[in-house]
């Protein structure tokens, strides 16, 4: 019986050789080329993927599939975030890749500098609601500010066939409007159309806005931090900007801070580590911030709040932190909230976050022109907590959708802006209904630029934020009556802008 078995195996092996070498032609090289990309994906995933042990055995995989299809065949049912893309832009449609970029500033190398959400109107056209503009970008130079609405492109309404042209391109004309509470509609400005010069490289510094306010004698800081990036082109200038902001906030003696992460969907874990070190109570320095749990081949790693990270900045020694969140707040932003909570009170205002308690790592194969970002670790705070897969949700009174209050969709740092005014009201001793006394003097709002009468962003762009002080009533309640106004309606949300695609090492 054994002899027969051996003979059958030999015959089977000969059959395989005959099939691969049919007609006297050796096809091993051709098959190796055809399967090279999928085998690179498989090899990398088995080493790094968090759920590597769940990857099917090689004899159950089809290495002749398109890379995107093959990649998906390796993923765990628990995985919501691992992605794959092509390094060739034209491969997004021809090979089944899902394009990862639908937001302008996702590609700072070529952009008009507009971060926006699309809203669909009743007649199947779209309006682009401006979340913010990059200083000194084509949009900023055209006078576009946060809260504006782009209504038309080159005289044509925004539709499915042209709205992607807001990402980048040559010189265009846009029609810009604003929300009218009286008309409950978006109306065009008189100064239209406006020219956007051709898209170009922009500097999307994540330290977008820094302010300080006097709230009933308490010095309150405000920081808009839009993504966890160290700098441009492998630089560290954004980390230095964060340190500079912390030093300025310390110089004006802030004891409370409002951290605005509403559009921040992640980035480098080292930036999150730096931010936490700058904000945490002084006694927490040197202690554990997080544990990153990898697969069995990699082991675990600890992240500490190293005092040396402070550098030229300042540890603000905060006892509590107010965090403004949105539907896109994710990953490294959630790491900050989760990992600071063992050391200080974290008060969340806004929308429920994404719920990404995992870290990812980007791998690129320039030969095969493929890039992938699989999940590689799960992140725990110092208490071993990582139970926010469904996101962090604010307490009910503080669960606010800024898109429902369009008349107060104001520039970052404006104390009448919906989410910020709620935080300032709480600090003033109110209940979040904006009934506290927030002004007190004509110099209520100060900025890092040094001007006490004009609240500008750290970047110094005059278009990034309008003057908000100038009088003793600068920081009035959001509605003037101690409660939020009735929600506004423009149209149904059709397609929120998707996450940026950045090459980050861990948390994105």
- Give 19-77 pLDDT, tens digit per residue: 444 445 555 566 778 899 999 999 999 999 999 999 999 999 999 999 999 999 999 99
- Return the pLDDT at 499: 27
**Euclidean distance between CA atoms 47 and 73, whole angstroms:** 16
Domains, the chain, ordered by start: 109-196 (2.30.42.10), 207-495 (3.90.226.10)
Q: Is the dihedral of CA 373, 377, 382, 388 positive or negative?
A: positive
Residues of the chain with confidence (pLDDT) below 50: 1-23, 92-94, 98-104, 434-443, 450-506
Strand partners, 194: 174
**Are the C-beta atoms of 245 and 466 separated by less than 8 Å?**
no
**Are the C-beta atoms of 224 and 417 separated by less than 8 Å?**
no
* Neighbouring residues of 473: CB distance < 8 A, sequence distance ≥ 6: 439
**Euclidean distance between CA atoms 140 and 501, whole angstroms:** 23
Integer CA distances (angstroms), 471 to 188, 214, 254, 314, 468, in order:
29, 14, 22, 31, 9
111 membership: H or E segment, kind and range: none
* Neighbouring residues of 246: CB distance < 8 A, sequence distance ≥ 6: 278, 279, 310, 313, 314, 315, 316
Whole-model pTM: value is: 0.82
Integer CA distances (angstroms), 275 to 91, 240, 262, 385, 488, in order:
37, 11, 16, 20, 35
**Euclidean distance between CA atoms 240 and 237, whole angstroms:** 5
- Return the pLDDT at 405: 95
**Euclidean distance between CA atoms 22 and 303, whole angstroms:** 57
| Phi, psi of 277, rounded to the nearest 5 degrees | -65, -35
Provide the 10 A C-beta neighbour count for residue 505: 14
CA-wise closest residue to 292 among 229, 340, 360: 360
Strand partners, 132: 115
CA-wise closest residue to 361 among 36, 37, 45: 45
**Euclidean distance between CA atoms 261 and 280, whole angstroms:** 17
- Return the pLDDT at 28: 55
| Phi, psi of 206, rounded to the nearest 5 degrees | -65, -25
- Return the pLDDT at 87: 84
- Return the pLDDT at 342: 98
- Return the pLDDT at 469: 26
């Amino acid at each position: 019986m054994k002899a027969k078995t051996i003979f059958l195996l030999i015959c089977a092996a000969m059959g395989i050789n005959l099939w691969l070498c049919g007609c006297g032609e050796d096809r091993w090289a051709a098959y190796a080329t055809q399967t090279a990309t999928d085998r690179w994906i498989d090899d990398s995933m088995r080493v790094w993927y968090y759920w590597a042990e769940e990857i099917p055995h090689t004899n159950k995989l089809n290495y002749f599939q398109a890379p995107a299809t093959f990649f998906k065949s390796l993923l765990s049912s628990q995985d919501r975030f691992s992605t794959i893309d092509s390094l060739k832009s034209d491969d997004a449609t021809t090979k089944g890749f899902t394009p990862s970029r639908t937001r302008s500033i996702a590609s700072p190398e070529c952009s008009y500098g507009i971060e926006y959400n699309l809203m669909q109107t009743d007649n199947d056209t779209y309006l682009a609601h401006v979340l913010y503009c990059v200083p000194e970008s084509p949009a900023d130079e055209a006078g576009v500010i946060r809260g504006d609405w782009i209504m038309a492109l080159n005289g044509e309404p925004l539709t499915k066939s042209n709205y992607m042209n807001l990402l980048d391109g040559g010189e265009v004309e846009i029609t810009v409007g604003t929300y009218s509470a009286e008309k409950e509609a978006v109306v065009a400005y008189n100064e239209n159309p406006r020219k956007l010069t051709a898209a170009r490289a922009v500097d999307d510094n994540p330290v977008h806005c820094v302010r300080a306010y006097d709230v009933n004698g308490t010095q309150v800081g405000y920081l808009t931090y839009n993504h966890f990036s160290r700098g441009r082109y492998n630089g560290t200038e954004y980390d230095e900007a964060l340190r500079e902001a912390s030093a300025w906030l310390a110089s004006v003696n802030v004891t409370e801070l409002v951290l605005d992460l509403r559009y921040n969907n992640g980035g480098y874990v080292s930036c999150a580590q730096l931010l936490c070190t700058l904000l945490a109570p002084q006694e927490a320095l040197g202690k554990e911030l997080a544990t990153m749990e990898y697969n069995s081949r990699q082991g675990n790693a600890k992240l500490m709040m190293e005092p040396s990270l402070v550098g030229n900045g300042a540890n603000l020694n905060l006892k509590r932190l107010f965090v403004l969140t949105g539907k896109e707040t994710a990953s490294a932003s959630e790491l900050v909230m989760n990992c600071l909570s063992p050391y200080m009170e974290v008060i969340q205002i806004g929308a429920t976050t994404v719920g990404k308690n995992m870290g990812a790592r980007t791998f690129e194969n320039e030969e095969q022109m493929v890039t992938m970002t699989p999940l590689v670790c799960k992140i725990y705070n110092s208490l071993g907590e990582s139970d926010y897969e469904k996101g962090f949700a604010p307490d009910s009174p503080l669960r606010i959708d800024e898109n429902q209050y369009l008349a107060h969709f104001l520039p970052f740092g404006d104390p009448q802006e919906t989410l910020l005014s709620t935080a300032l009201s709480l600090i003033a001793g109110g209940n979040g209904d904006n009934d506290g006394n927030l002004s007190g003097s004509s110099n209520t709002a100060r900025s890092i630029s040094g001007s006490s009468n004009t609240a500008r962003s750290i970047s110094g762009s005059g278009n990034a934020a309008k003057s908000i002080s100038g009088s003793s009533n600068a920081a009035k309640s959001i509605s003037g009556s101690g409660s939020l106004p009735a929600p506004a309606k423009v149209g149904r949300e059709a397609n929120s802008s998707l996450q940026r695609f950045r090459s980050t090492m861990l948390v994105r």
